[in-house]
A and B are shown apart, each in its own frame.
Chain A
Amino acid sequence: MNWEPLILTFKLALVTTGLLLVLSIPLAYWLAYSRSRVKPVVETLVSMPLVLPPTVLGFYFLVAFSPGNVFGSWLEQWLGLQLVFSFQGLVLASILYSLPFMVHPIQSGLSGLSPSLKEASYVMGKSRLTTLWKVLLPNIRPSLLTGIVLAFAHTVGEFGVVLMIGGNIPGHTKVASIAIYDEVEALNYGAANFYSAVLFAITFCILLLVYLVNGGYVKRFWK
């Protein structure tokens, strides 16, 4: 059996989730506490991938990053980045596509904390960054876990965006979801079944783990 598409899928999900976490914490912090007038607009943009067909996102990526365009050729000349039909392009598209799945849980976790926790830390002379790191984040661990897992699982399940911007290059952009489609087209139901079953089993286990940890079952059984 060819494991390459599966390994590529999990590599993509891992890189995407890691970068998303770093990006989403400041964004969610701003969304949770800001009273800026542009906040509704930013909130809308963050949530767009929830309702937009993935192909729309993929299409605009393809247009924007194509080396035949001003922006695409600028990226290639100055940064040496080719984002169409490459792994880097997949990562960037996946980050935007899974953004709400990471930002929303962290944002609602932060909004759910009593404001006096933050204020108590400020009154003790602690900076915003120290407060975020030492007080706020440790108290929203379940939200962080939910965000990490949802973003990971959602990236594993990507299809439309990947197909549009990544194409179907073995070892570079051919992830498991694309490979399944490919094998079915070629009437190789056995291979399609192999990829599908592995994805099914792994995503089931990941989600089950979240519900066990956040539901307190793990703590209860380990005591």
Chain B
Amino acid sequence: MISCAIEKVLSAAGGEMKLHLELELKKGELITLYGESGAGKTSALRMLAGLLTPDRGRIVVGGHTWFDSEKNINLKPQQRNLGFVFQDYALFPHMTVRENLEYGARQGKDNALVSHLIEMVALGDLQNRKPDTLSGGQKQRVALARALVGKPELLLLDEPLSALDARIRSKLQDDILALHREFGLTTLLISHDLNQRQIQVYRTGLKD
């Protein structure tokens, strides 16, 4: 169970705007936040991850308070057990695909898990390549697998599909769903949609 009610004044292109986000996520749910560019979707994710501090509000994940402005609680990103897939993938250029995943482990190396994740996203042949030599879709899969090595409670994906063409997009959607189910994740992903000025929430019925 994840509950979040946060507020932050952001300085956007058209002056200041106030972002107010209230969310309730049950364990195992996957929801998508829609909204046009500049609506504050990425800022919302960054606040959940602890990379940006909200002005007011609270974030509680599975009984642990991650942020509470009234009680002065603000856990560092390091202390929040979550996986984050960045819009620019943020793969470490000097490490191979496998080393990128191994770096993501929280306690010690878990070779079995790393190998399993590499197989899940079909990167077995590419595991010793550096990220620079991969295509956009391949990089996205590495980023996704890497985010799961730390066995996160919450998976956040920043526009994971927008930079990909239709065929690869649907393949990656399948990957996200498969991993979401297998790891029993709670997943929040954002996607831009030009028709919606404000952030909208869309829940997928994932229960089989």
Residue of B nearest to A138 (CB): B94
Contact A122 B88 (CB under 8 A): no
Contacts between the two chains (Cβ within 8 Å), count: 53
Known: A117-B90, A135-B92, A139-B92. A123 touches B103 (CB 8 A): no
Complex contact B103–A119 (CB within 8 A): no
Number of B residues contacting the other chain (C-beta, 8 Å)?
24
B83 interface residue per 8 A CB criterion: yes
Q: Are B104 and A124 in contact (CB under 8 A)?
A: yes
- Inter-chain CA distance A135–B99, complex, in Å, is 12
**Which residues in window 1-60 of B have CB below 8 A to A?**
49, 51
CB distance from A89 to the nearest CB of B (A): 40
Main secondary structure of the interface of A (DSSP, over half): helix
Q: Does A134 count as interface, using CB distance less than 8 angstroms?
A: yes
CB distance from A44 to the nearest CB of B (A): 28
- The reply on A125 being an interface residue by CB < 8 A is yes
Nearest chain A CB to B106's CB is how many angstroms away? 5
Contacts of B76 in A (CB 8 A): 122
Is A127 in the interface zone, CB < 8 Å from B?
Answer: yes
* Neighbour of A122 across the interface among B77, B103, B106, B146, CB < 8 A: B77
B88 near A127 with CB under 8 A, answer no
Q: How far is the CA of A123 from the CA of B78 in the complex (A)?
A: 5
Residues of chain A within 8 A (CB-CB) of B106 are: 124-125
Instruction: Assess the A119–B51 pair: CB atoms within 8 A.
Output: yes
A116 and B86 contact, CB distance less than 8 A: yes
Identity of the chain B residue whose Cβ is nearest the Cβ of A114 in the assembled complex: B88
What distance in Å separates the Cβ of B67 from its nearest Cβ neighbour in chain A? 15
**B141, chain A: closest CB distance, angstroms:** 15
Residues of A near B94 (CB, < 8 A) are 138-139
Chain A contacts with B in 65-94, Cβ cutoff 8 A: none
Chain A residues, CB < 8 A from B84: 119-120, 123
Q: How far is the CA of A116 from the CA of B150 in the complex (A)?
A: 18
* Complex alpha-carbon distance, A143 and B130, angstroms: 21
The answer to whether A116 touches B90 (Cβ under 8 A) is: yes
Per CB-CB distance, the 5 closest pairs between chain A and chain B, nearest first, are A116-B90, A120-B90, A122-B77, A116-B86, A123-B84
Residues of A within 8 A of B (CB): 114, 116-117, 119-127, 134-135, 138-139
Q: Add 14 more A-B contacts to A122-B51, A122-B77, A135-B92 (CB < 8 A).
A: A114-B88, A116-B86, A116-B88, A119-B51, A119-B84, A120-B92, A121-B103, A122-B76, A123-B49, A125-B81, A125-B106, A134-B103, A139-B92, A139-B94
